[in-house]
């Protein structure tokens, strides 16, 4: 499955490749085949990058992003995940809730793994949940220049449901409700909508 809204971008190099091959055959000019290989490689890269596999939600609060954990701060209930070029870049809701606020902030494009990336272009989404507010910040990186939301303020989402994506290298910061227990550490690999990042106590779950 290809991420929502990405099909035109992914298919463009494939169409161009087919056009080059057709021109080479119909016009009998073999040189038209030369652009076919790089265009085909671009198509394969985009196909892999914009993949959007189905996921089965894990228990508790799940990761909003695929990638490597950069920060796991129990005192602040904050988890930050860095998404490299090979990761799935579709982001998902950590738990059920309603989107109370979405705020886009222009900014720089420092490497997404660097601490100064907090000043990068970002989209903050606040979810109202039964456990308390969940704050998600999608942060653009050096290559990423576009954050694409799939939802709007007021929408209700289910745990693991797709909420948007960031094109190319980027990061997602999650600030979870107080009282949950983080179960991931810095360096862990996580999968959006599937990997549990925090467990919920029975008191909070009531």
- Chain mean position to CA 89: 3
CB atoms within 10 A of CB 42: 16
Task: Exactly one of 6, 12, 75, 170 is catalytic; name it.
Answer: 170
Which helix or strand (DSSP H or E) is residue 26 part of? Answer: helix 7-26
Burial degree of 22 (CB within 10 A; 0-12, 13-18, 19+): exposed
> Measured in whole angstroms, how far is the alpha carbon of residue 61 from the centre of its chain?
16
d(CA 129, CA 135): 10
Concatenated DSSP letters for 103-136? EEE--B---TTSGGGGGBSEEEEEEEETTEEEEE
Catalytic: 201? no
Enzyme catalytic residues:
170
């Amino acid at each position: 499955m290809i991420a929502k809204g990405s099909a035109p971008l992914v298919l463009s190099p494939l169409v161009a490749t087919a056009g080059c091959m057709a021109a080479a055959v119909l016009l009998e000019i073999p040189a038209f085949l030369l652009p076919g290989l790089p265009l085909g490689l671009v198509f394969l890269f985009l196909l892999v990058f914009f993949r959007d596999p189905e996921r089965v939600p894990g228990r508790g609060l799940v990761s909003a992003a695929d990638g490597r954990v950069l920060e796991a701060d129990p005192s602040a209930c904050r988890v930050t995940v860095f998404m490299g070029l090979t990761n799935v870049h579709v982001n998902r809701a950590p738990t059920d809730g309603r989107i109370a606020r979405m705020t886009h902030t222009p900014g720089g494009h420092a490497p997404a793994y660097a601490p100064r990336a907090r000043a990068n272009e970002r989209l903050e989404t606040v979810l109202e949940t039964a456990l308390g507010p969940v704050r998600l910040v999608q942060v653009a990186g050096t290559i990423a220049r576009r954050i694409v939301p799939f939802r709007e303020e007021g929408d209700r989402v289910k745990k693991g449901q797709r909420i948007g994506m960031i094109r190319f290298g980027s990061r997602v910061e999650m600030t979870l409700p107080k009282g949950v227990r983080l179960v991931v550490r810095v360096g862990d690999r996580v999968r959006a909508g599937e990997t549990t990042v925090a467990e919920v106590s029975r008191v909070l779950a009531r």
